[in-house]
Amino acid sequence: MKIGVYAGSFDPITKGHYDVIKKSLKITDKLIVAVMNNSNKKGWFSLEERKDMIKLLIGEDSDRIEVKSFDGLLINFMKENGADIIIRGLRAVSDYEYELGYAFANHDLSYGEIETVFIPAAREYMYLSSSSVREAAMVGARLDIFVDDKIAEIVKEKAKTIKG
């Protein structure tokens, strides 16, 4: 069984992230969406809120997708979960250069047992990021082009709370 891990902060999960999740199901038997608990990163949503938004989106695919959180080394998390494929979404050439270094490091740290698979973002999501969603939400811009309708209201409410 091929188990893949798609890790990120997902603060919030965007349509681009969800696109990579759906594409990942074509090459894995099971996908773990691993939400990073990174205390160095100041995000909008708590770890549980981010996991809940992902679960809200995956709905019908939940029999093949598991949502978990982790901190520490990704390869340790993967070993604990029997996973052998890292899924990384790519938007631009700069993503590739950045991610390639991590792919080599993870391969070496795992003694060659873990491979990284790069999945390009759909054309319409090439320049979409969670930070751009947060910026749009802060100025009251439309969010339907960035996030699924199921979580747009959650993001809008969080922006109102942050603005005070």
Residues serving a catalytic function are 17, 41, 91, 130
> CB 100: neighbour CB atoms within 10 A?
14
- 113 among annotated binding-site residues: no
- 123 among annotated binding-site residues: no
* Chain centre distance of CA 115: 18
Contact 133, 147 (CB under 8 A): yes
Q: Tokens in use for 70? A: 């982790």
- 100 among annotated binding-site residues: no
- 138 among annotated binding-site residues: no
- 66 among annotated binding-site residues: no
- 91 among annotated binding-site residues: yes
Q: Indicate the burial class of 137 (C-beta count within 10 angstroms; 0-12, 13-18, 19 or more).
A: buried
- Nearest Cα residue to 121 out of 160, 93, 100: 93
For residue 73, the 8-state DSSP code is -
- Nearest Cα residue to 34 out of 19, 57, 50, 45: 50
- 94 among annotated binding-site residues: no
The DSSP string of 27-54 is T-SEEEEEEE--TTS--SS-HHHHHHHH
| C-alpha R_g of the chain | 16
- 109 among annotated binding-site residues: no
- 99 among annotated binding-site residues: yes
- 127 among annotated binding-site residues: yes
Q: Which residues are annotated as a binding site for ATP?
A: 9-10, 17, 89-91, 99, 125-131
Query: Which residues carry a binding-site annotation for substrate?
Result: 9, 41, 74, 88
Residue stretches of the annotated binding site: 9-10, 17, 41, 74, 88-91, 99, 125-131
